[in-house]
Structure 1
Amino acid sequence: MYSLALLTKSCLHTSARILKKAPQNMKGKRASDQRWIARQLNDPFVKAAHDQNYRCRSAFKLIEIDDKYKILKPGYSVIDCGAAPGAWSQVAVQRVNSAGANSEVPIGFVVGVDLLRLTPLDGAHFLSFSDVTDQSIQTQLQELLPSAQADVILSDMAPNASGFRELDHERLVTICLSVADLVERVLRPGGSLICKYWDGALAHHVQSRLASTFCEVRTVKPKSCRKESAEVYFLARFFKKNPKQIHF
């Protein structure tokens, strides 16, 4: 297993000794596009994702969280909400052994859901062009999951940026609350959730909702998150199943 601690040290060392790359052929591109390209060229986690064959740099966010809190274990069933392009699913497949790469530990199950098309991944079942907040999709998830329950729910979902920070924050809070609905429907007692949010005035609504159904809720910001980003993650553990919960 690739060590994130070693990766981070290596990335910081590399970025410190290599001059920043200057983007080429930028004529005609918008200033925002130019900034994005320049940032990608000089991001050590982008390079590491390419070297380690992850679909995008966000894989290292999940790796860092799981290295510390150990929520993904062989044999576990995982739902990856907003899975595209599939980097978190790649990490989940490796850690729950859903591709059966290790014959000495239990085989898990990973299902990813996204509104976009998902490129197939060995060890994962993908539901493309699907809305995880839709009750029919949630029913489909229950039918796919062993014992109709998940051990872990992951959400790296975010709305398309509107350019208005408060509006985007409000929309992501709504998404997080929809994930909380999914949790109450399919997560097994004792299960865990990782859910991205953008820090802001309404974040406490999500935290209060999660605190009502989990024994432990904390916020984490992996080192692989960009410093200028407002993104943070709720890590909720030890789900308390409400026996009076109504299932659709």
Structure 2
Amino acid sequence: MWKRIQRSFIHMSAVSLKKTPLHMKGKSAADQRWLVRQLSDPFVKAAHAQNYRCRSAFKLIEIDDKYRLLKPGSSVVDCGAAPGAWSQVAVQRVNSAGESVDLPKGSVIGIDILRISPLDGAQLLSNHDITEPSTHMALERLLPGARADVILSDMAPNASGLRELDHERLVTMCLSVLDLADKVLRPGGSLICKYWDGALAHKLQQRLSSMFQDVKTVKPRASRKESAELFFLARMFRIR
């Protein structure tokens, strides 16, 4: 897969040198930098080519290719699911749309405070806050046996521009995902959550280590090198 993405990048980069596909006039310098980065990003191109809703799909694909968390028949909760790229990957891998008749059919539930466009094979809780008891109750109704095998979180707060504040807010969001895991994750289950590196990362890791037997940090290739974005991968959940 990665060689395909690289070949696509080389071809599209050659095209972009010949012409400017987006009109930059009137855009701020920051907007122009963002557009140039998007145009040269092989994962953005690959997401369009493979009909994923955004490039972040490839972060989950790489992690799951290596660690095999999403198995046919598994139940998955995707926190902060909008626009739905991680849910798309989960639907494919746990067979929740039932496309592979010879494999067990899984379950994918996406949650976000924003609206999530409908996705075949996923049950979506748009305009739901994962910290609210009503959301927990809805999850327990939808999950087979009221338990999930895997919890995913690619959530992030709207950036304030203040790195430490944004880091603190994201860690708080991750801790709310762990509170959810306490309620709905099956013993032996797994969790992936995004965080930004900073002073509170150790606190988050300690909490994870108290809940899971195995905790490690991963940075997939689809995470930009200049980004402070990292992911905790936690496996073998134990009820305390």
TM-score (norm 1): 0.92
Corresponding residue number in structure 2 for 1:6 = 3
Contact 1:14 1:44 in 2 (8 A): no
Corresponding residue number in structure 2 for 1:126 = 124
Contact 1:23 1:38 in 2 (8 A): no
What is the count of residue pairs matched by the alignment? 239
Corresponding residue number in structure 2 for 1:206 = 204
Q: Equivalent residues in 2 for 1:172-211 (5 A)?
A: 172-211=170-209
Corresponding residue number in structure 2 for 1:37 = 35
Distance 1:167 1:23 in 2: 36
Q: Equivalent residues in 2 for 1:43-62 (5 A)?
A: 43-62=41-60
CA deviation vs aligned residue, 1:22-73 (integer Å, no higher than 9, x gap):
4642222121111111111111110100000000000000000000000000
Q: How much does 1:11 deviate?
A: 4.7
Corresponding residue number in structure 1 for 2:103 = 105
Distance 1:229 1:203 in 2: 15
* SS of structure 2 residue aligned to 1:95: helix
Q: How much does 1:138 deviate?
A: 1.1
CA deviation vs aligned residue, 1:84-113 (integer Å, no higher than 9, x gap):
000000000000000000000100000000
Distance 1:10 1:158 in 2: 31
* SS of structure 2 residue aligned to 1:122: coil
Structure 1: tracts of 5 or more residues without a match:
243-248
Distance 1:24 1:18 in 2: 13
Corresponding residue number in structure 2 for 1:117 = 115
State, as a whole percentage, how many aligned pairs show the same letter: 67
TM-score (norm 2): 0.95
Structure 2: tracts of 5 or more residues without a match:
none
Contact 1:221 1:231 in 2 (8 A): yes
For the pair 1:161 / 2:133, whether they are aligned, the reply is no
Corresponding residue number in structure 2 for 1:95 = 93
Distance 1:12 1:222 in 2: 18
Distance 2:8 2:234 in 1: 29
* SS of structure 2 residue aligned to 1:179: helix
Distance 1:219 1:226 in 2: 15
Which of the numbers 70, 74, 77 marks the counterpart of 1:76? 74
Contact 1:194 1:234 in 2 (8 A): yes
Contact 1:82 1:114 in 2 (8 A): yes
**RMSD across aligned C-alpha pairs, in angstroms?**
1.5
